[in-house]
Amino acid sequence: MLCALQGAETPYQLIGGVNRVKVLLYGINFSPELTGTGKYSGEMAEWLARHGHAVDVVTAPPYYPQWRVSEGFSAWKYQRHEMPDTNGQVQILRCPLWVPRKVTGAARLMHLASFAVSSTFGLIWGLARKPDLVFVVVPTLMQTPQAVVLSKLAGAPNWLHVQDFEVDAALDMHMVKGAAESGGLLRRMSWWLESYWMRRFDRVSSITPAMVKRLLVKGVEADRVVELPNWVSLDSVFPISRAESMRHELGIADDQVVVLYSGNMGEKQGLDLLVEAAERLRHEPTIRFVLAGTGAARARLEKAAVSLGNVTWLPLQPIEKLNALLGSADVHVLPQRADAADLVMPSKLTGMLASGRAIVGTAALDTQLGGILSKVGVRVEPGDADGLAQALKALAQDPARREELGQKGRRFAEETLDKNAILRQFLQDATALHSQAPPRPRFKAR
């Protein structure tokens, strides 16, 4: 599948004043995954297609957050198909992926390595289709060396987008066995490798100002760094009445206050704190916890909460029910471990804010999440189960305060998280990056 070089490609026609861009999106997670990175990558591809642009996607079969390849997809075969409802503008190549039954630190590394190897051949396929931009999404960092080398060979500008500082998080949260004992050496080696490959990209972005600063600390030049925040579709997630929500379907009485967590149930979320808060509030008959989602930690959490009658467990809900689910909440709850700090930003926050419901979260004041919660929600220190329970009880007894916070959150979403505004800016930046690139050779498949 080696390729020869030809002359520069004729520019695409103008559409709405912007050159038609062809993006090669490269990352392990993609639609139809409903949470995290896959959700945002899928929405980006769909938005670009709807606005007249083309996207080739090199990814894995959907497996997250349930850590099991979804029905209809193969873990061991290359599969090519179109993204539904994009008129053929989004072409997807799924690459083989090993998904562990038990998610440990070592298993995660093998899992990521399997995609790094198999997707290299997929990346060659994508580059042979002559993209204007190679957009690489982290996690996983293991795929960056081949993305840098092959995109440079193809003459296409490349952009690295960091959704999650996976290496820092794995070390700080002791997710890799033996990391604590050899932490100094391992951290220095991983830092050097991460910094080296990040600095080889033409553009590097992340989702919050604090995470952008971390890119600079890692040595990425300031003129290559931009912020590309996560977004929310304000037309899809919006405030609704209790009658329009799922409360009746769930058998929740009108006088009950619903504390909702919806999303991935992994180890990074710090969900043990919710079980502890529910235990402290078990004698408050008006407060009901609803935990919706799946992930590596769910079975353990359910076992810990087996004696609690104030907790309802739901599977991860389909996208068409998302707004009805979010609207079922009186209070959204968002725990975060202290050692995650500014290494990750919970993607579910955007929907919580747009839903117009009050939010209680755990975060240190000097983190990005802590700053947002201090403005439009209620902030509790990480690990403080008593403080979380007290904050939830206080809001349960104060509907006026819940309404005030919900309105603040919605305004924040409208002013800073609008999907159309964020992706229009991305498109402008991508077009500018492509136009700054020198005339490039192109692959011609033999």
pLDDT at residue 337 in the model:
81
Residue closest to 142 by CA, chosen among 118, 177, 176: 118
Tokens of 122: 């997929």
Gap between the Cα atoms of 127 and 6, Å rounded: 13
How crowded is residue 366: how many other Cβ atoms within 10 Å of its Cβ? 10
Length in residues, the chain: 446
Gap between the Cα atoms of 67 and 29, Å rounded: 12
pLDDT at residue 445 in the model:
38
Say yes or no: 202 and 59 in one domain: yes
| Residue 60 covered by a domain | yes
pLDDT at residue 167 in the model:
65
Residue closest to 284 by CA, chosen among 125, 397, 175: 397
pLDDT at residue 185 in the model:
73
Say yes or no: 170 and 210 in one domain: yes
| Residue 103 covered by a domain | yes
Give this prediction's pTM.
0.88
State how many domains the chain has.
Answer: 2
| Residue 236 covered by a domain | no
Angle between helices 399-416 and 385-396 (to 10 degrees): 100
Say yes or no: 23 and 118 in one domain: yes
Domain CATH number, residue 63: 3.40.50.2000
**23-41 pLDDT per residue, tens:** 999 999 999 999 889 999 9
pLDDT at residue 182 in the model:
46
Per-residue burial over 19-38, b = 16 or more CB atoms within 10 Å of its CB, e = otherwise: bbbbbbbbbbbbbebbbbbb
Containing 11, the helix (H) or strand (E) segment is none
The phi and psi torsions of 333 (rounded to 5 degrees) equal -120, 135
Alpha carbon distances (Å) from 83 to 88, 134, 344: 7, 18, 28
| Residue 219 covered by a domain | yes
| Residue 237 covered by a domain | no
Gap between the Cα atoms of 361 and 359, Å rounded: 6
Indicate left, alpha or beta for 350 from its phi (over 0: left) and psi (-120 to 50: alpha): alpha
| Residue 253 covered by a domain | yes
Beta pairing, strands 331-334 & 257-262: parallel
Show the domain range for 199.
3-231+418-445
Q: Which residues contact 400 (CB under 8 A, 6 or more apart)?
A: none
CA 220 centroid distance within chain: 22
Burial class (CB in 10 A: 0-12, 13-18, 19+), 306: exposed
Beta bridge partners of 418: 232
Say yes or no: 190 and 292 in one domain: no
**89-124 pLDDT per residue, tens:** 999 999 999 999 888 878 988 999 999 999 999 999
Residues of the chain with pLDDT under 50: 1-17, 179-182, 440-446
Got the DSSP string for 249-309? TTT--TTPEEEEEES---GGG-THHHHHHHHHTTT-TTEEEEEE---TTHHHHHHHTTT-T
Say yes or no: 426 and 397 in one domain: no
Burial class (CB in 10 A: 0-12, 13-18, 19+), 386: exposed
Say yes or no: 118 and 98 in one domain: yes
Say yes or no: 341 and 440 in one domain: no
pLDDT at residue 347 in the model:
85
Say yes or no: 186 and 328 in one domain: no
Q: Where are the beta strands (DSSP E) in 315-364?
A: 331-334, 358-362
Say yes or no: 92 and 113 in one domain: yes
Say yes or no: 176 and 53 in one domain: yes
Say yes or no: 124 and 187 in one domain: yes
Say yes or no: 203 and 92 in one domain: yes
pLDDT at residue 355 in the model:
98
